[in-house]
Homo-oligomer: A and B are copies of this chain.
Amino acid sequence: MQLNAFWRIIKLMKHAINQKPDYEKELRKAGVRITRPRRIILDILTSTEDHPDAMKIFHRAIEIDDSISLSTVYRTMNLLEEMGAIHRHAFNGGPSRFEQAHGEHHDHLIDVDTGDVIEFQSDKIEKLQEEIARALGYDIIHHRLELYGRKSKPSE
């Protein structure tokens, strides 16, 4: 939980300095063409703190270039996911939501009333997951932990 705070600060500093991860270089190296739509979408992803879905990304994108199509957003999200540049979430069972893959691994707590997404990280839980998988004879490829909660009343 202390580490969490640390990384949050790092993230904020990066944001302040505008030092975004250079996905363009990475993608180019992997033989991916950097097109105008892709650059715009990457910019949107690297400059937000939230977890937008395809439609929200689309709306932010057409604000910058109204010729971008929704299918391109979807295609780009699939591409970036395959390249490991973003993570895809399916909270509740709603539409896919995305966030850039940069930064520390974390899990999510979703406020069931407001929809707010709060990030957290627990080394202990990660360790326990590994132990459990190992005991069952498995190596974890990836995992998903989501807590759905409601603000606790201070009293009571």
Contacts and interface: CB of A to CB of B under 8 A. Distances in A.
B139 A148 contact: no
A91 B148 CA distance: 17
Interface in A90-127: 90, 93, 96, 109, 111-112, 118, 120, 122, 124-125
B133 A124 contact: no
Per assembly, the copies of the chain total 2
22 contacts: A1-B132, A93-B96, A109-B133, A112-B141, A120-B132, A120-B136, A122-B128, A124-B128, A125-B125, A125-B128, A128-B128, A138-B147, A139-B149, A139-B150, A140-B148, A140-B149, A141-B148, A141-B149, A142-B148, A143-B148, A144-B148, A145-B146
A35 interface: no
B124 A147 contact: no
Contact of A152 (B96, B125, B139, B144): B139
Interface residues of A, number: 36
B128 A138 contact: no
A137 interface: yes
